[in-house]
Chain A
Amino acid sequence: MTTRAFPMLVAVLAALPALAQMPSPDEVKTVSGQTAAALKAVSLPRLKDHVGGTRNNTVARYNAVRVAQDLAGKDLPAGATFTWYAVPPLSNIQRLADQYPVDGKAAAPLRIVACRDEFEPASFQIYPFADAEKVVVKAGDLRAEGGAVIKADKVDIKVVKIWYQDGNGWYSYFNDTGLKLCPDLLLNDENMIRVDEKHKANFVRVNLKDKDEYIWITPPAEIDPGFNVAAEPVRDAPTLQPVSFKAGEFKQFMVTVRVDADAKPGLYRGEITISPESAPTANVPVVLRVLPFLLPQPKTYYDTNADFFAMLYCNPGYGTFYTASGNNAKEAEAKVYRKLKNQFDHNVTSPLYYGLWKGYSGLEGVERDLGIAKKIGMKLDPFFEAYSCVNGDKAGRYYEILRNGSIATKEFQRILGHGNIYPAGGEEPGPRTIVASRNGWRAAHELGNLVMCNGGDRRHYSGYADDFRVGGGFAEKDQADFMHRIQGKIGNYAGPHTGPENPDYMRRMHGMNLYKKDYDMMYNYGYFEGEWNDLRAYCYRITLVYQTRDGFIDTLPWEGVREGLDDIRYATLLKQLAERAIAEGRQKNVDKYYTGRKALQFLACLNEETCDLPEARLEMIRHIMAIDKVLGNGK
């Protein structure tokens, strides 16, 4: 065994970021050698110049030649200084600045398929042949042939910021001591974060009254005092700001179209204009198919009548925001609203306030918080983790639970209009605590409530009293089967925790992986529990969004979660229609019967751990449309 004091870079082709999708050194060499042919086939002078300028950088040359090859025969303005690639928005591929998009299509339209009442993403990457500043990227209206319009303000464009995350970035939620570049943030103002590649450091802009200041947010943990962005004035712009292009560096944009529930079905067309200050504008075509279906709320796979819930544990709320805003109630309430709205718009529709009930002294806060949740339309029936019923083996605690529970039930009934509430049975209680909580849980049941409790499998000492067990770790079908066999429900967290930046992975693990394993709930930890500095994380870097003074910055994995839950909504629609077709088809209409059953067969055979999720979504849509046809709805 030999040792050395400092890490060394990989010897072979040190210039190559060794990522999964990076071509082999052989391929890089081969493609780079095709420069002359590529230049001959393309007519863009700026691209030719650019390729010529890459002779000293193997990767840059490889990328430039690949782009030139892709653009051969394409009709681009002679003065064009960039092109774009339509790319899958939520891919396993890390789209770094020097990563040629192996799954992208050059100068192709963005194709989007969405139901009504859905957000649907698309993405493109710019490949500039020349540097450019103040490039305006703007969406136009999307118009259908019949005159229907989806206004431009429903087309949100954000720049995907590549910044430093810890050495486990993209792949796990654990803390590490090193840093690496990772695409993650969805920003309106790319200059809000400054990335210093020379020193491997991220900086965030703090908007002081008289000036802006950049604060180093990735110091080593040992010297990081903790940067409180809630208290510090950190803000993103409300809309997309002009961006800059650097020759040879890919830059990704995320496009999210909001299709309202009342949108007219049909094929919409529009474009995104990209206007550099002193170069021709490019128009990226956008084609949107709005399907004639209203996307239902998610139900479970095992029962189309049973709700599938989504919530996120257990971020700070009003109190923290109030303090951070300098005791400004209005600002704090606005932030609570934005937090819940952001969750709601990402399909996380059940709010979670662990132990919201703190006695009458906190009633005003309960009414305020639930009022905001109601205003947004969040799902409050059932209402989860309404009060705590942990412990209770001591008489004092038992009677306290009984009293608190009884008052909480009464007050929630008044505020919510129902008594369907689940108190929290504990916080990852161990076997001893569970046994010590039997009286407390019993008290909750005596009050007509049901118990929800996170933690590990406890079938040998608690199953009968567990109404909703939220299991930690990777989801397992047999755990769900057990809970359902004893007429309980099951949720999941930490399978994985939030943190991995890979949006496809997050989509899968928060969506079909839970759905197909018969889970009833996604209840992950957490929304923004992690900090801006991965290095400072104690153990996990558990975050889906980044908190600013007045709001939250979305990320690729957060978009993945939304799509994962949308996958469940599509599967729900498929199952609902299939069940109808089967029921109707049994009355001697074999086509209906078979069409419904084929859809179910497709879903049953779908491997939630390995399937290609975009393909699975489109296949579900195909089945949905086929069933719709046999049901005669389309007529």
Chain B
Amino acid sequence: MKKIKTLASASAALLAAVSCLWAAPETAEPQKTAEPATFGEAYKLAQTLRGKGQKEEAAAMALKAAELATRPDDKATALWYRGDIYWNKNTRDLQEKYGLEALAVEGISPARRVFSVKDLLAKIYVEQGVGGLEKARRLVEAALAHPSMSNATYRIDISAALANVEFENFQVDDARARLAAFEGEGSLTSADKAQLLRARADIEKKVGDYPAACALLKRIYDDKAQQPKTRLDAVLGAIGLMRDDNKREEALAVARAFFDDSSVEVGGKHERLADTIVRTEVSLKRIDAARKAIAALAARKPADERGAAAIDRAVASLTYFVDFAEGKFEACRATILANPGKYRGTTETKDLSTVFFNRGEYAKAAEIGSLFWNKPSVPWGHDHFFRSMPVAYWRSGNPKGAAEFLRGQAETMTGVSEGRRLGFKMAAKFYENGSLLKGDARGMTSKVEPKVARDAFQEAAKQLVSIGKIEEPRMLYEMRKALFVPHRRNIAPVRYVGNAPTDVGSWKASGLATEKNRNVCDVKFGKQNAERLITDVAVARGDKVNASGEAEDDRPIAWFWVCYDEYGIHLMFEHYDPKFADVLLGRAGPIGYEMYFGVDELGPAFQFGINPSLKEFEYCPPWNSPHKYFRRLENYADFSTRPSDEGYATAMNISWALVYDRLPDNGSEWPFEMICWARNGGVTWGGTDIWQRSEWGHWRFEGMTPKVRSAIHRVLVYKALARYNAQKNFATGGAIGTWRDEELGDPAFYEQELKPLVEKLDAYAAEVKGEMGDALADRLFKEAVPLWYDFRYEADARRARYLERQLTEP
């Protein structure tokens, strides 16, 4: 027994030493001596280098430590550490190699051997499937065969590790058998038996056989030869499994029996068991039984002061728990207020305060909640709670309390930026004075960095929005906004061009696509880029986004030109791709685009994606139901792509028919945005994220004279008439043809509702000539085109009214 203890302690000591080395502050500066002289120095240096991310240097230093080591275990530790530096899925082979080298060091202690074997199993072989399992088995077999490994504790330890690898490879029976085989060994100590049973129970738990696991744990806690703590841990483990298995009565019985078993006395036993009993009873809604269990715990108060205090704490805590579960919030409040020091900073105060807040009892919320914040160690991450506290004070008519709270927060809260602290003070000023003047806010931030002011304005504004204030937050928002580079909305003039270019070749030949005329996308995509402080170095320097990531490469990444003619809008966009040679060879994919344009500021917008290697839109989502005032883009646009200088150029044509009912006037501005998914991050013409409509630039239509407008009308008259005439063809489902059909249509409906309309539209059609003057084109456009072009919608609307009347008029 003594020997075993010694071995166990040696093992623990070794592990402690290793972990101590491991835990040494890795960021500490290495000693200034160029060459470490001892194993310890080299090992520590290796850790430091690893902490700095200098992996190769760290590995070399670990090797050096191994060379300097005078004891086998130190050498093995250094070699193991060398491997551990490569603990990464891509360098497992190195980790394994050096781990095995550590194991191969002559004369290592059994503890070191066990550590190395378990480490290889847990970090490498368990991840390698069947191959890993085989390696693990061979390694364990070899380790067990080593003369130094006769001790059962080590053998069980190492076998349990292997059983885990077997389990992870779904070899559950092998794992079970491997551990069960130890049962026959007569030399097992009580500790060995407990270790073995725990390992076996662990396998059963993982397999999901909780009763089997409980039975194994029962053998530990029933064994009076086991240490009391070992028995208690086994009991608690079994109770946890029983509860998870919905055997709460069984769990209670075991807990109560052990609670009353005076043969097992170990510190914390009654508190821990009572905790389990009370929580289980509460889960069964047996509040009285839970309170009885608390009383039983209180009666167990031992003579020693420390033990008695522990029991007192547990009783109070459980009483609070039961009160809270039962909804006795006033009792909880009384408990806390009776001893506020004890509860200061505990989550109980936060939770109870939240309950009162959500019940509209703001004074109580503030009273209890104030105990939570005033503890410097409270981690940040309770923003909502902390922001609700001033609200609670405010709504309970105590603005001074809110101010004090915020000033306290500013002083003691950990993990908060300087700006936010200043924001707390700024909001406190509001609560103190009943207002926050611009001069106050400016004065408080006059001597701080802009980024501190930015955070201060933001925090204070949030605080004041929370209590329903409007003017002060708006003022703070504007002050904050003034710190940033203003957002710009570009304007691209869209001019009328007779015989406008429609493909890349004609664009290139047109003389329109000049560097001077182009509209460049030079805004970095991403919301995080939206807010650039005026004082940022990059802003001050005028840095531009670039395609290759090379500082000297300041060529624009993407740009476009746009014009229109009587047929529609014509757009050409082009990009510079540093990998374009690879793209042409198929070794890299092309750079694509996402674009939008809107019809007027508030009208519908079209979104589309273009991949230059595709002949159709990569996507063109249906964001609206097609109807009288909206048509889908994909039916009204085409594009073609050609390689250009160092990237693709794409020409796109959008027919006026898409928007025939809302043609632009001279000076009309339509929102437009282009995002180019460049290799070094996306760039946009103006927006910072997808669908940031309020940031898009504008196309401004110029040269839309009455003459030009008439020319557009003329084209649309022909197109609309063709579309209307197609409605007459019953063979292809035209509405006019179909409604007249006796079998599939409704001639009565046709005669009553459609025929007059058709006659009117036919009369207009008779006016259409090969050469139409502007006046005629304008009149037909106004009077006939809407019905010609979307005859079907009109027919549908008439049909709906007709049927509705039939059904609702007797």
A214 and chain B: residue at smallest CB distance: B468
Known: A219-B465, A267-B810, A598-B743. A504 touches B625 (CB 8 A): yes
Known: A20-B630, A208-B395, A224-B462. A505 touches B625 (CB 8 A): yes
Bound-state Cα–Cα, A618 to B172, Å: 64
Cβ proximity bits B128-141 to A, threshold 8 Å, 1 near / 0 not:
00000000000000
Q: Does A222 contact B (CB under 8 A)?
A: yes
Q: Which of A55-63, A323-331, A381-389 contacts its partner?
A: A323-331
Bound-state Cα–Cα, A407 to B626, Å: 50
Assess whether A396 is in contact with B662, with CB atoms less than 8 Å apart.
no
Assess whether B625 is in contact with A621, with CB atoms less than 8 Å apart.
no
A-side contacts of B115, CB under 8 Å? none
- The residue from B208, B473, B809 contacting A403, defined by CB atoms under 8 A apart: B208
Assess whether A213 is in contact with B468, with CB atoms less than 8 Å apart.
yes
Shortest distance from the beta carbon of A326 to any chain B beta carbon, whole Å: 3
Assess whether A9 is in contact with B601, with CB atoms less than 8 Å apart.
yes
Assess whether B624 is in contact with A505, with CB atoms less than 8 Å apart.
yes
- The residue from A215, A610, A611 contacting B468, defined by CB atoms under 8 A apart: A215
Assess whether A326 is in contact with B486, with CB atoms less than 8 Å apart.
no
Cβ proximity bits B144-185 to A, threshold 8 Å, 1 near / 0 not:
000000000000000000000001111010000000000000
Shortest distance from the beta carbon of B635 to any chain A beta carbon, whole Å: 10
Cβ proximity bits A158-184 to B, threshold 8 Å, 1 near / 0 not:
000000000110111011111010000
Known: A18-B601, A172-B623, A225-B463. A622 touches B473 (CB 8 A): no
Interface residues of A in 588-635 (CB under 8 A from B): 594, 598, 601, 605, 609-615, 618-619, 621-622
Q: Does B636 contact A (CB under 8 A)?
A: no
Q: Does A474 contact B (CB under 8 A)?
A: yes
Shortest distance from the beta carbon of A583 to any chain B beta carbon, whole Å: 21
Assess whether B626 is in contact with A609, with CB atoms less than 8 Å apart.
yes
Bound-state Cα–Cα, A276 to B480, Å: 47
Shortest distance from the beta carbon of B541 to any chain A beta carbon, whole Å: 19
Interface residues of B in 585-636 (CB under 8 A from A): 599-605, 607, 621-630
Interface residues of B in 476-529 (CB under 8 A from A): 476-477, 480, 486-493, 518-520
Q: Does A17 contact B (CB under 8 A)?
A: yes
- The residue from A2, A324, A399 contacting B208, defined by CB atoms under 8 A apart: A399
Assess whether B245 is in contact with A1, with CB atoms less than 8 Å apart.
no
- The residue from B623, B661, B796, B807 contacting A500, defined by CB atoms under 8 A apart: B623
Known: A287-B808, A323-B358. A216 touches B473 (CB 8 A): yes
Bound-state Cα–Cα, A600 to B602, Å: 40
Bound-state Cα–Cα, A351 to B756, Å: 51
Shortest distance from the beta carbon of A115 to any chain B beta carbon, whole Å: 12
Bound-state Cα–Cα, A224 to B463, Å: 9
Assess whether B490 is in contact with A615, with CB atoms less than 8 Å apart.
no
Q: Does B355 contact A (CB under 8 A)?
A: yes
Bound-state Cα–Cα, A474 to B609, Å: 15
- The residue from A112, A231, A612 contacting B793, defined by CB atoms under 8 A apart: A612
Assess whether B694 is in contact with A176, with CB atoms less than 8 Å apart.
yes
B560 and chain A: residue at smallest CB distance: A1
Assess whether B490 is in contact with A3, with CB atoms less than 8 Å apart.
yes
Known: A233-B360, A622-B803. A201 touches B470 (CB 8 A): yes
Q: Does B655 contact A (CB under 8 A)?
A: no
Known: A11-B667, A12-B668, A605-B733. A1 touches B629 (CB 8 A): no
Bound-state Cα–Cα, A609 to B355, Å: 49
Assess whether B693 is in contact with A223, with CB atoms less than 8 Å apart.
no
Bound-state Cα–Cα, A537 to B807, Å: 44
Q: Does B56 contact A (CB under 8 A)?
A: no
Bound-state Cα–Cα, A612 to B626, Å: 9
Q: How many A-B residue pairs have CB under 8 A?
A: 251
Shortest distance from the beta carbon of A232 to any chain B beta carbon, whole Å: 9
Bound-state Cα–Cα, A325 to B607, Å: 42
Interface residues of A in 489-526 (CB under 8 A from B): 496, 500, 502, 504-505, 508-509
Assess whether B694 is in contact with A177, with CB atoms less than 8 Å apart.
yes
Known: A326-B358, A474-B621. A2 touches B491 (CB 8 A): yes
- The residue from B356, B492, B605 contacting A1, defined by CB atoms under 8 A apart: B492
Assess whether B458 is in contact with A223, with CB atoms less than 8 Å apart.
yes
Assess whether B245 is in contact with A360, with CB atoms less than 8 Å apart.
yes
Bound-state Cα–Cα, A21 to B804, Å: 23
Shortest distance from the beta carbon of A540 to any chain B beta carbon, whole Å: 10
Shortest distance from the beta carbon of B14 to any chain A beta carbon, whole Å: 29
B-side contacts of A364, CB under 8 Å? 283
Bound-state Cα–Cα, A400 to B799, Å: 60
Bound-state Cα–Cα, A201 to B669, Å: 25
Assess whether B691 is in contact with A92, with CB atoms less than 8 Å apart.
no
- The residue from A216, A226, A323, A406 contacting B470, defined by CB atoms under 8 A apart: A216
A112 and chain B: residue at smallest CB distance: B808
Q: Does A220 contact B (CB under 8 A)?
A: yes
Shortest distance from the beta carbon of A289 to any chain B beta carbon, whole Å: 5
Interface residues of A in 423-481 (CB under 8 A from B): 474
A506 and chain B: residue at smallest CB distance: B625
Interface residues of A in 371-399 (CB under 8 A from B): 394-396, 398-399
Shortest distance from the beta carbon of B574 to any chain A beta carbon, whole Å: 15
Assess whether A399 is in contact with B667, with CB atoms less than 8 Å apart.
no
- The residue from A359, A398, A611 contacting B244, defined by CB atoms under 8 A apart: A359
Known: A176-B693, A226-B384, A615-B796. A171 touches B244 (CB 8 A): no
Assess whether A223 is in contact with B244, with CB atoms less than 8 Å apart.
no
B-side contacts of A21, CB under 8 Å? 628-629
Q: Does B727 contact A (CB under 8 A)?
A: no
Shortest distance from the beta carbon of A266 to any chain B beta carbon, whole Å: 10
Cβ proximity bits B772-810 to A, threshold 8 Å, 1 near / 0 not:
000000000010000000000100110110011101111
Bound-state Cα–Cα, A368 to B599, Å: 51
Q: Does A311 contact B (CB under 8 A)?
A: no
Shortest distance from the beta carbon of A237 to any chain B beta carbon, whole Å: 19
A-side contacts of B259, CB under 8 Å? none
Pick the most buried of A2, A201, A213, A225: most chain B CB atoms within 10 A of its CB.
A225
Q: Does B387 contact A (CB under 8 A)?
A: yes
Q: Does B207 contact A (CB under 8 A)?
A: yes
Known: A12-B668, A20-B630. A363 touches B246 (CB 8 A): yes
Cβ proximity bits A120-160 to B, threshold 8 Å, 1 near / 0 not:
00000000000000000000000000000000000000000
B-side contacts of A402, CB under 8 Å? 208
Shortest distance from the beta carbon of B203 to any chain A beta carbon, whole Å: 10
Q: Does B646 contact A (CB under 8 A)?
A: no
Bound-state Cα–Cα, A236 to B733, Å: 49
Assess whether B520 is in contact with A180, with CB atoms less than 8 Å apart.
no
Bound-state Cα–Cα, A57 to B689, Å: 37
Bound-state Cα–Cα, A474 to B743, Å: 35
Q: Does A262 contact B (CB under 8 A)?
A: no
Q: Does A113 contact B (CB under 8 A)?
A: yes
Bound-state Cα–Cα, A201 to B491, Å: 28
Q: Does A77 contact B (CB under 8 A)?
A: no
B-side contacts of A618, CB under 8 Å? 799-800, 803-804, 807
Q: Which 6 A-B pairs have the closest CB atoms?
A: A178-B694, A18-B600, A403-B208, A174-B691, A326-B359, A612-B796
A-B contact pairs, 12 of them (CB 8 A): A111-B804, A176-B691, A176-B692, A178-B693, A219-B461, A233-B360, A287-B809, A326-B354, A361-B244, A505-B625, A615-B800, A619-B803
Taking A209-B360, A326-B360, A612-B796 as given, write out 7 further A-B residue pairs in contact, using a Cβ cutoff of 8 Å, ordered by the A residue number. Answer: A175-B691, A323-B358, A325-B359, A326-B355, A403-B208, A496-B623, A615-B797
Chain B interface (Cβ within 8 Å of chain A)? 167-170, 172, 206-208, 243-246, 283, 327, 329, 354-360, 383-384, 387, 395, 458, 461-463, 465-466, 468-470, 473-474, 476-477, 480, 486-493, 518-520, 599-605, 607, 621-630, 661-662, 665, 667-669, 689-695, 733, 743-744, 782, 793, 796-797, 799-800, 803-805, 807-810
Chain A interface (Cβ within 8 Å of chain B)? 1-12, 17-21, 24-26, 92-93, 103, 109, 111-113, 167-168, 170-172, 174-178, 180, 199, 201, 206, 208-209, 213-216, 219-220, 222-226, 228, 231, 233, 267, 287-289, 323-329, 359-361, 363-364, 394-396, 398-400, 402-403, 406-407, 474, 496, 500, 502, 504-505, 508-509, 539, 594, 598, 601, 605, 609-615, 618-619, 621-622
